[in-house]
């Protein structure tokens, strides 16, 4: 007891000191203002004079705003950036005002001086040093450029002249390795802080990769992380855009969580401190403001320091997300629908034979074991064998599940409905297939099934499409052969026409659908125009209808486009909004019967069902997001 008392006293003293420290600090978390009307903003950077520059995925220009959020036409927004930014991924600036923009679509770094004059660019698509695959974030210090080369699972370092210096990291779960790093920041001592997105942690390394340490595991409690993305330093704190927890967390550099702000919206488009999947965070040079970008909501919110008495609105430990989330992928069979839950990385199974879809099973969940997922990136369902194919790009796996539910069977929730049959572990598999040896490890994205039972898997890294037979014997690879284009190869979805095996390959960056015969012969490419002149089109999901036409979702244009392999684009419907037939960042699309199309209205946290002529049938999903389709009035 005599020894216990001083120990307890010491612990109490430490606790008091920590609480005292916390109270002395003015953390970010006070809502300032929103910059709305952007086109999927992915990165913000402050200039030394307080202006903020924003790049958006669906906007080829750089937008500038004054310190209070007003449009500033004095920077690059008044000029046309040449060459156009294909699909921006991030932006960073130095204290002298030099600006660096990261382009994911045509992988490169663009450099501008303080007057927005283009100075240089460097980089290209690939796996070698100095090349990028789907780069996701950029940071700079006085001497170097640090690029989160997300698709290559590494950080690449360059001089300000674009001269390659070194890479740090490779795919893996050990400290010093990454899975899809989605953010990078530097401190004055030259230490790198990396958001190791799919490992759900932050890593701290020297610029040469030495001295690595990490904090964070997946979860929603304070201090835990779920797909951390953007990262920035705020004095001696580290701010992390904790994307799937819909908040920003502040950590001490030891990894001790000290503050958090953000809470998922309850209503469509709700902001003013509410956050929806924030992907980047930036702090102004004077330390007074923090900009947080939410691509799903087409906005950036600017936060200020808390003032005495302020309580940042945040999710309490263990509190569930207040609304239904659907991930980007959908698959369907005869009156059965499979959706993903990105927060939990589980599959939700719905019976669609009744008036409204009924949840009848849920399985999977986040984890490294077989039967679970790091990040679900592809879905396809074979009705005949009742087999669901699930791609997991982050785990480099394809898994198949048998679904024990027959059409017409009374809907009843059964957690054991799905049984894992097989998994391909591509890293190991490719070593045993001579034709695939030495090639980058396949990271499955979109999946499709051919009428003869072949399995088509789009590689999220290379943009190639690999074809396997039903027993996973590798057959051949479909290459992009239409002149390659200037953008990086990218496939958001695949579909196969039942009647003749015609394959549709959707390229969201080039805004093209490539139609390919089953033997790999390229038939034609159909370019999808923006919903209006000058607007970007970003096709995502695809599904063939029985009449042979292809239904596509356009993320940027918030619509469904109908395309014929023979006649090109032949119609469509939809607009941005919350009402019937209106959408917000639509993604996956599937057919659960010959005459009904299910569109995953991703940004509205709901699905919508349409007849094939575009007539609205019904919506399902988060109640407050479905409501606008019922009374025809927006809820706000």
Partner 1 sequence: MRFFPARRCAAIAFAGVGFLGGCSGETDPEPAAVPQHAWAPSPPPMYDGELCDVPEGAIVAAPRVSRDTGTIERVSNGGEYVVTCMPSPDPIPLNDMFTMEVRVASADGSCAAEDVSALSVSAWMPDHAHGLNVKPRIEPLGDGRFTVSGMRLHMPGYWQVYLDAMQNGIVERTQFDVWFE
- Contact 235/198 with Cβ under 8 angstroms? no
Residue 393 token pair = 């790009």
Residue 484 to residue 489: CA distance in whole angstroms: 8
Task: Give the one residue of 412, 476, 524, 623 binding partner 1; rule: CB under 8 A.
Answer: 412
Residue 557 to residue 603: CA distance in whole angstroms: 13
Residue 168 token pair = 């740090």
Helix ranges, 419-537 (H): 426-429
With contacts defined by CB under 8 A, name the span among 141-149, 302-310, 469-477, 552-560 that binds partner 1.
Answer: 469-477
| Eight-class DSSP state of 71 | B
Q: State the nearest-atom distance from the C-beta of 112 to partner 1, in Å.
A: 46
Of 19 and 428, CB closest to partner 1: 428
Task: Give the one residue of 213, 286, 370, 613 binding partner 1; rule: CB under 8 A.
Answer: 370
Residue 634 to residue 636: CA distance in whole angstroms: 6
Q: Nearest 5°: CA angle at 607, between 606 and 608? A: 125
Of 368 and 568, CB closest to partner 1: 368
Strand partners, 551: 543, 562
Task: Give the one residue of 415, 434, 438, 483 binding partner 1; rule: CB under 8 A.
Answer: 415
Report the relative pairing of strands 164-168 and 181-186 from DSSP bridges. unpaired
With contacts defined by CB under 8 A, name the span among 155-163, 325-333, 360-368, 600-608 that binds partner 1.
Answer: 360-368
Q: Nearest 5°: CA angle at 452, between 448 and 456? A: 25
Task: Give the one residue of 426, 466, 540, 620 binding partner 1; rule: CB under 8 A.
Answer: 426
Q: Which residue has the tokens 């799937």?
A: 244
x-or-dash pattern for partner 1, window 472-501, by CB under 8 A? x-----------------------------
- Rounded to a whole number of angstroms, the distance between the first and last alpha carbons of the chain is 61
Would you count residue 423 as binding partner 1 (CB under 8 A)? yes
Task: Give the one residue of 178, 261, 326, 429 binding partner 1; rule: CB under 8 A.
Answer: 429
Q: Nearest 5°: CA angle at 398, between 521 and 455? A: 30
Q: State the nearest-atom distance from the C-beta of 402 to partner 1, in Å.
A: 6
Helix (H, G, I), strand (E, B) or coil at 102: strand
Strand order in the sheet with 550-554: 539-544, 550-554, 559-564, 568-573
- Contact 446/439 with Cβ under 8 angstroms? no
Would you count residue 404 as binding partner 1 (CB under 8 A)? yes
Exposure b/e, 516-554, CB count within 10 A at least 16 = b: bebeeeeeebbebeebeeeebbbbbbbbbbeeebbbbbb
Of 386 and 480, CB closest to partner 1: 386
Would you count residue 171 as binding partner 1 (CB under 8 A)? no
- Contact 495/544 with Cβ under 8 angstroms? yes
Task: Give the one residue of 79, 84, 414, 580 binding partner 1; rule: CB under 8 A.
Answer: 414
Query: Cis omega before residue 83 (within 30°)?
Result: yes
Q: State the nearest-atom distance from the C-beta of 400 to partner 1, in Å.
A: 8
With contacts defined by CB under 8 A, name the span among 27-35, 159-167, 416-424, 610-618 that binds partner 1.
Answer: 416-424
Would you count residue 430 as binding partner 1 (CB under 8 A)? yes
Residue 130 to residue 628: CA distance in whole angstroms: 48
Helix (H, G, I), strand (E, B) or coil at 604: helix
Sign of the alpha-carbon torsion through 423, 425, 431, 434: positive
Of 84 and 402, CB closest to partner 1: 402
Of 264 and 366, CB closest to partner 1: 366
Would you count residue 471 as binding partner 1 (CB under 8 A)? yes
Of 142 and 409, CB closest to partner 1: 409
Q: State the nearest-atom distance from the C-beta of 218 to partner 1, in Å.
A: 14
Residue 447 token pair = 């999946």
Report the relative pairing of strands 582-583 and 575-576 from DSSP bridges. parallel
Would you count residue 371 as binding partner 1 (CB under 8 A)? yes
Would you count residue 431 as binding partner 1 (CB under 8 A)? yes
Of 234 and 392, CB closest to partner 1: 392
Which of 402, 422, 420 is closest to 469 using CA atoms? 422
- Cα 406 to Cα 221, 352, 380, 415, 419: the distances in Å are 39, 12, 17, 15, 15
Helix ranges, 67-108 (H): none
Q: State the nearest-atom distance from the C-beta of 519 to partner 1, in Å.
A: 24
Q: How many residues bind partner 1 (CB under 8 A)?
A: 34
Of 21 and 404, CB closest to partner 1: 404
Q: Which of residues 509-568 bind partner 1 (CB under 8 A)?
A: none
Strand order in the sheet with 257-261: 228-234, 237-242, 247-252, 257-261
Would you count residue 416 as binding partner 1 (CB under 8 A)? yes
Task: Give the one residue of 313, 427, 479, 482 binding partner 1; rule: CB under 8 A.
Answer: 427
Task: Give the one residue of 3, 210, 311, 432 binding partner 1; rule: CB under 8 A.
Answer: 432
Q: State the nearest-atom distance from the C-beta of 459 to partner 1, in Å.
A: 15
Would you count residue 365 as binding partner 1 (CB under 8 A)? yes
E runs forming strands in 113-200? 118-122, 124-125, 131-132, 137-140, 144-149, 154-159, 164-168, 181-186, 191-196
- Contact 68/51 with Cβ under 8 angstroms? no
Would you count residue 369 as binding partner 1 (CB under 8 A)? yes
Would you count residue 413 as binding partner 1 (CB under 8 A)? yes
Q: State the nearest-atom distance from the C-beta of 418 to partner 1, in Å.
A: 10
Of 363 and 602, CB closest to partner 1: 363
Q: State the nearest-atom distance from the C-beta of 261 to partner 1, in Å.
A: 29
Q: State the nearest-atom distance from the C-beta of 424 to partner 1, in Å.
A: 6
With contacts defined by CB under 8 A, name the span among 31-39, 136-144, 300-308, 357-365 that binds partner 1.
Answer: 357-365
With contacts defined by CB under 8 A, name the span among 253-261, 274-282, 361-369, 579-587 that binds partner 1.
Answer: 361-369
With contacts defined by CB under 8 A, name the span among 78-86, 240-248, 314-322, 421-429 that binds partner 1.
Answer: 421-429
Of 400 and 608, CB closest to partner 1: 400
x-or-dash pattern for partner 1, window 379-398, by CB under 8 A? ------xxx-----------
Q: State the nearest-atom distance from the C-beta of 251 to partner 1, in Å.
A: 27
Would you count residue 428 as binding partner 1 (CB under 8 A)? yes
Q: Which residue has the tokens 């569930």?
A: 320
- Cα 602 to Cα 13, 50, 271, 555, 626: the distances in Å are 49, 34, 17, 9, 12
Task: Give the one residue of 99, 267, 424, 447 binding partner 1; rule: CB under 8 A.
Answer: 424
Q: State the nearest-atom distance from the C-beta of 403 to partner 1, in Å.
A: 10
Residue 269 to residue 66: CA distance in whole angstroms: 23
Cα Rg, the chain, nearest whole Å: 24
Enumerate binding residues for partner 1 (CB under 8 A): 362-363, 365, 367, 369-371, 385-387, 402, 404, 412-416, 419-432, 470-472
């Amino acid at each position: 007891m005599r020894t216990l008392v001083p120990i307890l006293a010491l612990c109490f003293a430490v606790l008091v000191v920590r609480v005292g420290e916390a109270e002395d600090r003015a953390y970010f978390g006070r809502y300032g203002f929103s910059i709305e009307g952007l086109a999927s903003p992915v990165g913000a950077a402050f200039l030394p004079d307080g202006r903020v520059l924003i790049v958006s995925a669906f906007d080829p220009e750089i937008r500038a705003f004054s310190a209070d959020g007003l449009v500033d036409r004095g920077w690059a927004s008044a000029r046309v950036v040449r060459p156009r930014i294909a699909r921006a991924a991030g932006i960073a600036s130095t204290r002298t005002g030099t600006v660096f923009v990261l382009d994911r679509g045509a992988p490169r770094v663009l450099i501008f001086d303080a007057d927005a004059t283009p100075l240089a660019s460097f980089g290209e698509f690939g796996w070698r040093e100095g090349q990028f695959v789907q780069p996701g974030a950029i940071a700079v210090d006085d001497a170097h450029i640090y690029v989160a080369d997300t698709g290559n699972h590494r950080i690449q370092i360059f001089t300000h002249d674009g001269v390659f210096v070194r890479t740090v990291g490779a795919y893996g779960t050990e400290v010093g390795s990454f899975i899809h790093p989605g953010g990078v920041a530097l401190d004055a001592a030259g230490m790198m802080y990396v958001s190791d997105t799919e490992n759900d942690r932050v890593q701290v390394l020297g610029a040469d990769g030495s001295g690595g340490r990490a904090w964070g595991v997946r979860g929603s409690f304070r201090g835990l992380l779920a797909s951390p993305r953007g990262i920035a330093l705020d004095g001696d704190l580290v701010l992390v855009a904790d994307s799937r927890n819909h908040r920003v967390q502040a950590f001490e550099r030891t990894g001790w969580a000290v503050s958090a702000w953000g809470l998922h919206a309850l209503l469509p488009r709700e902001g003013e401190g509410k956050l929806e999947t924030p992907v980047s965070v930036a702090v102004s040079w004077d330390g007074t403001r923090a900009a947080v970008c939410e691509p799903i909501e087409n906005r950036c919110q600017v936060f200020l320091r808390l003032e005495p008495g302020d309580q940042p609105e945040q999710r309490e430990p263990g509190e569930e997300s207040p609304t239904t989330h659907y991930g980007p992928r959908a698959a369907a069979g005869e009156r059965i629908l499979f959706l993903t839950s990105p927060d939990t990385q589980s599959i939700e199974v719905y019976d669609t034979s009744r008036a409204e879809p009924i949840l009848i099973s849920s399985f999977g969940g986040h984890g490294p074991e077989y039967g679970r997922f790091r990040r679900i990136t592809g879905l396809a369902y074979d009705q005949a064998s009742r087999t669901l194919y699930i791609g997991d790009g982050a785990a480099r796996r394809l898994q198949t599940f048998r679904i024990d539910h027959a059409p017409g069977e009374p809907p009843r929730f059964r957690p054991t409905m799905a049984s894992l049959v097989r998994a391909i572990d591509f890293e190991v598999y490719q070593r045993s297939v001579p034709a695939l040896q030495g090639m980058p490890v396949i990271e499955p994205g979109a999946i499709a099934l051919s009428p003869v039972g072949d399995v088509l898997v789009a590689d999220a890294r290379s943009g190639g499409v690999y074809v396997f037979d039903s027993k996973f014997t590798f057959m051949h690879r479909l290459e992009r052969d239409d002149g390659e284009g200037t953008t990086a190869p990218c496939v958001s979805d695949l579909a196969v026409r039942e009647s003749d095996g015609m394959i549709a390959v959707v390229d969201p960056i080039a805004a093209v659908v490539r139609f390919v015969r089953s033997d790999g012969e390229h038939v034609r490419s159909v370019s999808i125009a923006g919903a209006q002149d000058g607007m970007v089109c970003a096709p995502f999901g695809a599904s063939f209808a029985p009449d042979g036409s292809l239904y596509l979702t356009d993320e940027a244009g918030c619509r469904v486009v109908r395309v014929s392999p023979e006649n090109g684009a032949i119609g469509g419907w939809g607009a941005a909004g919350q009402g019937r037939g209106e959408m917000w960042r639509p993604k996956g699309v599937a057919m659960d019967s010959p005459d009904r199309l299910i569109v995953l209205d991703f940004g509205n946290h709901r699905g919508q069902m349409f007849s094939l002529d575009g007539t609205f049938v019904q919506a399902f999903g988060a109640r407050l997001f479905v409501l606008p389709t019922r009374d025809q009035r927006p809820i706000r």
